[in-house]
Every structure is written in C-alpha cells, then in structure tokens.
Structure 1
C-alpha cells in the first residue's frame, strides 16, 4: 500500500482531512479533535506522526465545517460530532479510503473523546481500540459508555485534577477493558516538556497491540 499521505474530502459534507495510509497488515487511527481545534491540531499531528513511525495509519479531519466552528452549540454537540466520526469511519472503510479489511482505532481529545466513545459504541464491529487524551468522557451519556466494549485507554495529566476525577468516574461506566493512565507533570494540554511524547508513546503502544489484521495477529 502506498504510504504517501493525501488530502481528502469526506462525504457527504466534504469535511477536510489528511489520510496517512497504514503499512500492510496494520490499522488506521481516526482522530477526533477537541473544541476550538481542527485537523491541523499540533498535538494530534504529533501523535499521528508517532503512529506513522510504528506502521499505523491515521486520519485527521475537521469534525465541523468552517462556519459551524463559530457556533458553540455545534462545537459541544457530542451527538453531532459522533455522527461525523461515524461518517468518516464509513468513508475510510470504503474503496475511496483504505478499504474494508482494515482495523480501526479512535483517538479523541477533549470533547472529541466523548464523540469518539459514542461513535465507538455505534461501530463496535470495526473499532478495535480507543485512546482519549485529556478527554471529557463524562460528556457522553452513561448508556453510550456502556456500549464501549473495546479496550479503552484514558490518558490524563496529573495536574488536571478535575478532569482526572471525571475520567475515573466515566471509566467505571465503560463496558469493556479500560485503563486510566496518569501522566506525571502534565496539565490539560500536555504542554509541559516530555508529556506529549509520553502520550504519543502510550497511545502507540495501546494501538500497536490491537490494530493488526487477523491474519497478521
């Protein structure tokens, strides 16, 4: 498979994205950015680069159209964001994307974490693993969290006390294997030296073990 990244437009709205195809036998991680961010999020891009080095693919895309990004009701509409993530997943698995035999993971940040968890429950047959960075899984309804049966890693900074408590409470509602990993010395945005690198490594390890095609496992 050609591993050259390309720009894409995801139907039906033409949401802009960047697709980095996986190596043979590996999966693709779909990124769900947080509020006020986009497919160009430097933190998500850094994590995607680490995954790419491991042979995994990545799809970074805008959850909202440019004009929608100005509407705060849409920015925090978890159901809407989850629908967009499902649409992106369906496109990814179509011939226009990478094809239907590729295992999928979700990486969500902030509000995008809640959207990723909701969408994972709706596409449980293809989503193999989820990672959340500084996420707000509490924004997903408890019944949606209980539908998340695939392995889920919640990464939270030690200095992000309120969000850490929210993650631990939400983790108790998850329907499958899960782990809350605390990144020492990190605040909500993981801007402290070395903390984002820790996030990227832990996420890559989590996906690396779980996003292989069956015949490669």
Structure 2
C-alpha cells in the first residue's frame, strides 16, 4: 500500500484526501500505463494523470489489487493490511499521512518525524511531501510553469513559479550564465553529409539537452 500510494502521490502530485478517496474505478489499465482520474479536488477541478511502466512500477498494482478480498462492498482503493491479509476496512487520512515518514525512515533520511501527515503540526504533511516532490522533479527537469501548474491543479501560478525559480536545473543555468557566460538559448546546427563530403568529426561544446534529427535520403 505504501509503495502504490507513493507512486500515485508523486506521479499525480496528489493530496492526502485525494489518495484516500481514490476508488478502483478511478484507475484504468491501458497497455503499459495507468490512467488515473482525480474527480474531486480541493480546487474543484478534476485531474487526470498517467503512470508509465518506468522501472517495472506497474507490477505493483495488480499485485496489490489481487490482495483485495472479494467481499469488500465499497470501492476505495487503499485497504488496511492486517494479520497477513487485506481487510475490508479502507485506509484513512492518518495511515495515509504516515507514508512520507515510513519512506524517509527506510531511506535513512534525517528528521524523519518531520515527514508526517498529522494535522495542526508545523511539519511537512503528506500533501506537502508528495506534491512538493512531484513539482520539484518537474522543475528540475526544466518543465515550464504552465505544465507544473496544470499537473498539480493549482489555480495560481505563484506556487509553481516558486518551484521553477528554486529548481537546481534553473539555478545551474543561471550560474553558467553569470559565472561562465554560457548561452543556454536553443541553437540549431545543420550538417549536410554526402558520399563526397563526409566530415571527420562534428564538435559540440557546452551543450545540454541535445537532440539529433537524422534525415536519410536514399
């Protein structure tokens, strides 16, 4: 349950109550990916996100669903696991809120007690941990503000801007521009090659996120 909750929470930037209220009908297996629907959100705007089979993560979902007792009358996805088997009792906010602290403890991170979902405490809540992780990963990958905003379901761009401004990727680009004077703008280089004109080498310097488009004319 913890692994599935962690994957869904980060992949969809989910809040605690969104994970708690997920039902088996909200998840659709489509080939090598999962389509997850979040019909009820804090902002009243439904969201849909996809979980792809990176690192064989999708193997966990059928395994978890296979543990579901056949007599369960409700459709809530997450169930308590007791005495070596799943019960019919759905997982509540308090249990779901412990996911970050359990993961932090497993990873031997400092200040494990800070990763909690308890209410009215000045610590990182589950929503904060999972949504912050999701937004930070996107920002560090160079994703734009609009995409982060839509992914997490934020109405305002203020929060998304904070993640982009503080991302390691963005700060690295700024450092290169300030200290080295590296131009990080997009540059297109076209090289025409024929049988009579084959270059011995093509040099690229100070490049990141390079894409090669190869057109072969027979």
Q: TM class by shorter-chain length?
A: under 0.3
TM value normalised by structure 2: 0.26
TM value normalised by structure 1: 0.26
Structure index of larger Rg: 2
